[in-house]
Amino acid sequence: DAGITQSPRYKITETGRQVTLMCHQTWSHSYMFWYRQDLGHGLRLIYYSAAADITDKGEVPDGYVVSRSKTENFPLTLESATRSQTSVYFCASSESFRKGYEQYFGPGTRLTVT
């Protein structure tokens, strides 16, 4: 089906391990985003990408790495997971956010770091 998908949907990992969360969209949207959702903090932007090979930091980038070699994929890597990175992670995409197009969100990945 067309749209935006995330994998895995649920992940449990141990402190110090590297974890990669995948995001794939079929619309060929230029913009892609990673957010985390936490009680008391709402949704916070981690990284964003305006196009393939163009990425930049959001509000809370520390401990995360992104890449975007292809327009449709935007993986998020936790290089050495910490308990504070336990959260629900959402990927989003937008045709042209700069021009006011809305963002479309994936179903989320619930990550638990033990």
Positions that interact with other proteins (CB under 8 A)? 31, 33, 42-43, 45, 48, 50, 56, 58-59, 90, 92, 97-98, 100, 102-108
Q: Closer to other proteins at the Cβ: 3 or 17? A: 3
To the nearest whole angstrom, how small is the minimum distance from the Cβ of residue 43 to other proteins?
5
What is the C-alpha separation between 45 and 51, in angstroms, rounded? 17
To the nearest whole angstrom, how small is the minimum distance from the Cβ of residue 98 to other proteins?
5
Q: Closer to other proteins at the Cβ: 16 or 107? A: 107
To the nearest whole angstrom, how small is the minimum distance from the Cβ of residue 97 to other proteins?
6
Task: Count the neighbouring beta carbons within 10 Å of the beta carbon of residue 17.
Answer: 12
What is the C-alpha separation between 66 and 50, in angstroms, rounded? 13
Q: Closer to other proteins at the Cβ: 44 or 72? A: 44
Name every residue whose Cβ is closer than 8 Å to that of residue 112 and which is 6 or more positions away in sequence. 11, 12, 13, 86
Q: Closer to other proteins at the Cβ: 47 or 81? A: 47
Which helix (H) or strand (E) segment holds residue 90: the answer is strand 87-94
Comparing C-alpha atoms, which of 63, 71, 52 is closest to residue 113? 63
To the nearest whole angstrom, how small is the minimum distance from the Cβ of residue 79 to other proteins?
23
